[in-house]
Structure 1
Amino acid sequence: MLSPAETVKAKSHWNPQFSLLLFGLLLSKLGTGIYMLSLPWLAYDLTGSSLILGSVFAVEMLPYILLMPFGGVLIDKMSRKKIMIVSDVLRCIVLLSVPVLFGVGLLEVGYIYLLSFSMSVLSFMVEVSLMAIVPTMVPFDHLTRANSHIQMIENISTLAGPLLAAFLLGAYGTYMTLALNAFAFLVMAFCVLFINVQENKQQVQLQSLIQDAKEGLRYLWGSQTLRIIAWVSILCNLGMGIVLSTLVFYMRNILQVDEHHTSFVYASIGIFGIVASVVTGPLANRWKKGVLLYSLLFMGGLVGAVTFAMIPHWITAAIGIGVWAGCIISINILLNAYKQEIVENTIFGRVEGALTSIAYISFPIAGLLGGYLIEQVGSRDGFGCFSRNHCLSL
């Protein structure tokens, strides 16, 4: 099998195949942006409880911990193109099931947990497959730039998705919004269908899944750099998890603002993320990676997290979470490019699955503790407690 470098030796950085992939990704991420606001909005409509919102977020993160090492094995040994197509079609079907169940009077809170769990599994399969095929489509010396383009697409969608979700929620309601949202994933599946991808021809044997998952963990544990990345991710995720898991409750119950103000706060993640996508590449060329990562961690924890936690207003919430998320997005761009450079492509899915599983351990904890603390001590003290964890990653 040709190495990724040999496969892309004659390929330009920006080609029709990569452009088609980005177009599909734009629609897919736009759907994710709508879903990001619609799911907690639905959970709040059904229960009005911060603890329920936090627990839904915790369940949403569980697949990244329990199943993802095995998902990484499948991504390494099966057709990544087929995985992406099937996963996107299933995401469409899962979302369409919500308004159908509501229409026949069978929608219960328990199904929201199943929905969030299923969407997380399928989203991971798409995202890791995407990361694994990018090094086969662009030269290695353009990986940071390519990942910046991908992150730019994600941030544009993060900006537009919540704004579109607010319009749809106000005009058509939660269930019609989810129904319309579902079809965005079909566009991604259609685009991937016409992309030529270097496929793995290995046979999958169920009895080898555990051993292959252990191989990814061993590779991760044997690399000091990857262990540091996992530790930094755990601490960052602990702080950001509390914010994301209960943000809708904070906006609706405590600040008492409508879906339009709430969508602007969500959209601020996209606004600052776009800035991060634009400046990360040039900054990486001028600064040492260690210095840049340290500075981003400091700015995100001290400026972004503290501003969000200490000043209870929707404008400062938008600024704080925007700065915080923008710094984390820049960190992700740098770390993703670095992982793609140092990890062999044939084992990338296993390593990424193991790393993601470990890094996401803090998310369920943050969701449950966040919902509990906000009900017990209030949002300011609860958010303030978790914002300090971002600074600890320094």
Structure 2
Amino acid sequence: MGSLQTKQMSREFTFFQLFKQSKHFSALLFGQIFSLLGSSITNVILPIVVLQLSKSTAMMGTVMAVYMLPFVVLLPVSGILVDKMNRVKIMFVVDLVRFFLMMLLAGLAFMGQLNMVFLFIIMFIMGTMDSFFQPAYSAVRAKVFTKDIRNAANSITQVSVQALRIFGPIIGGVIVSSFSAAWGFGIDAITYIISLFFLLSLRSLSFQQSTVTLEKENSIKQDFLEGIEVLKQESWLWITILTFSLVNIFSGGIIRILIPWLINVYYQFEPVVFGLVLSASGTGAIVCGIVFGLRREWKKRGLLAYIGVAVSGLGLLFMPFVSSVPLLMVFMFLEGAGMMLFGLIREISLQELVPEDKFGRVVSLDMLGSFALLPVGYLLTGWIAEGIGEIFTFVTFSIVIVLISVLVMFNKGIRNYN
């Protein structure tokens, strides 16, 4: 009994004393909460706006491809630069640029001047900014999430992010239904400014930086190869990167292109229902994140991660066969829970296995491998869906996700990763 009470007290301390134990954790968490709140609203509004302007799933795929293209092209270089520069300053500058972009988008929408050309340009610049922000943010998080708080810190962070996936889509759906898309873009812009104030509290962080100067000949090539060498030493990392370069083609196409079409066009629900369905994914992720964070250690993490991917694929597989909103939400709940389980294990493994001075370039390679084919995937999803049918594409892609995750679990490196 005494042992059980001790474990419970330890868990309570891990969860509820984090904010006192690490002021940097608090600043990083709340900064991202506000930033992601706006983004989650935009994620609901953007596909609705594109469908209204173009009436085409192929065009939605093109928009997402335009966003991902600079992200993918710049990741190898951006990760190296992140290792050589102040990561917090990078995050600050990027949030400032994203604020102006969203204000421009809101202004165009308010004036009725928003068209596909403007969307392409703004999304291209947003992708460029994200190619620097994501490696920097991951490196800062790895620095702040020290070993003694790592499981709980990652869980709380992800639970907070997923909570935004509940409220953000609902707010976005209500805004589109009751007001206009312009208001949603404006709210997104304001959240970036709020995020900047929290980032100021992270200025005192110091990082181990690469000793190779930017001017040295072949420096970028050498740094790139060093990142690859780190990945080669851990089979879990490189297998997961290669696997998700395939999985993300199919899951990204479903989430970004086919689900908006399914809810808004095929079932002809109101935008607020689209928000509710996406929110169910966030609810599933929160439940999974809380459960995961209650334990300091999990066994067979490699298998657990890919079981999560398989569950996510199964949740998506049944969505085209039900028109009931509660059932659609149940299946998205499973999708969110499965991907949260995988995401937590993947994030923690990077923080455990990658040296701090190489973290930016390694996480960039991780993102590059996982997301490199997303622009192609978005384009293919839109065009394939219009060619052979959206429902058939939806089902086929879901089955492929399940099959890939099951096959990977037969690999010894995955099964033995702990």
Same fold (TM over 0.5): yes
Residue of structure 1 equivalent to 2:90: 83
User: Are 1:253 and 2:265 counterparts?
Assistant: yes
Alignment counterpart, residue 266 of structure 1, candidates 278, 285, 302: 278
Deviation of 1:104 (Å): 5.6
Contact persistence 2:71–2:131 (CA under 8 A) = yes
Write the distance in 1 (CA, Å) between the matches of 2:298 and 2:224. 37
Deviation of 1:210 (Å): 4.3
User: Are 1:319 and 2:330 counterparts?
Assistant: yes
Residue of structure 2 equivalent to 1:35: 42
Write the distance in 2 (CA, Å) between the matches of 1:121 and 1:329. 26
Residue of structure 2 equivalent to 1:92: 99
User: Are 1:372 and 2:383 counterparts?
Assistant: yes
Matches within 5 A, 1:1-394: 13=18, 14-102=21-109, 106-195=113-202, 196-199=204-207, 204-205=214-215, 208-246=219-257, 247-282=259-294, 285-302=297-314, 304-391=315-402, 392-394=404-406
Deviation of 1:371 (Å): 1.2
- One-letter identity of the residue aligned with 2:182: Y
Pair 1:240–1:334, CA change in 2 (3 A):
same
% same residue: 24
Deviation of 1:79 (Å): 0.6
Write the distance in 2 (CA, Å) between the matches of 1:44 and 1:116. 16
Write the distance in 1 (CA, Å) between the matches of 2:326 and 2:59. 26
Contact persistence 1:310–1:380 (CA under 8 A) = no
Write the distance in 2 (CA, Å) between the matches of 1:93 and 1:141. 38
Deviation of 1:192 (Å): 0.6
Deviation of 1:220 (Å): 2.4
Write the distance in 2 (CA, Å) between the matches of 1:189 and 1:170. 30
Deviation of 1:27 (Å): 0.6
SS of equivalent residue, structure 2 residue 48:
helix
Deviation of 1:205 (Å): 4.0
- One-letter identity of the residue aligned with 2:161: E
5+ residue gaps, structure 2, are 1-16, 407-418
Q: Once the two structures are superposed, what CA deviation does each residue of 1:87-144 show, in whole Å capped at 9, x if it has no partner? A: 1111110111113334566533122122222223323433322221223224214222
Write the distance in 2 (CA, Å) between the matches of 1:120 and 1:381. 30
Deviation of 1:216 (Å): 2.1
Deviation of 1:209 (Å): 3.4
- One-letter identity of the residue aligned with 1:227: W
5+ residue gaps, structure 1, are 1-11
The CA RMSD measured in Å over matched residues stands at 2.3
Contact persistence 2:236–2:302 (CA under 8 A) = no
Write the distance in 2 (CA, Å) between the matches of 1:142 and 1:124. 27
- One-letter identity of the residue aligned with 1:308: M
Deviation of 1:204 (Å): 4.1
Contact persistence 1:241–1:363 (CA under 8 A) = yes
Aligned residues: 382
Write the distance in 1 (CA, Å) between the matches of 2:394 and 2:97. 35
SS of equivalent residue, structure 1 residue 67:
helix
Contact persistence 1:238–1:362 (CA under 8 A) = yes
Pair 1:250–1:175, CA change in 2 (3 A):
same
SS of equivalent residue, structure 1 residue 194:
helix
Of 255-264 and 369-378, deviating more is: 369-378
Deviation of 1:327 (Å): 0.7
Write the distance in 1 (CA, Å) between the matches of 2:335 and 2:111. 42
Deviation of 1:251 (Å): 1.6
TM-score (norm 1): 0.90
Q: Once the two structures are superposed, what CA deviation does each residue of 1:69-89 show, in whole Å capped at 9, x if it has no partner? A: 111112111111101111111
Write the distance in 1 (CA, Å) between the matches of 2:166 and 2:27. 21
Pair 1:71–1:283, CA change in 2 (3 A):
same
Write the distance in 1 (CA, Å) between the matches of 2:396 and 2:295. 31
Q: Once the two structures are superposed, what CA deviation does each residue of 1:200-231 show, in whole Å capped at 9, x if it has no partner? A: 56654496334423432343244322211102
Write the distance in 1 (CA, Å) between the matches of 2:216 and 2:339. 36
Write the distance in 1 (CA, Å) between the matches of 2:117 and 2:228. 33
TM-score (norm 2): 0.85
Contact persistence 1:242–1:367 (CA under 8 A) = yes
Pair 1:258–1:228, CA change in 2 (3 A):
same
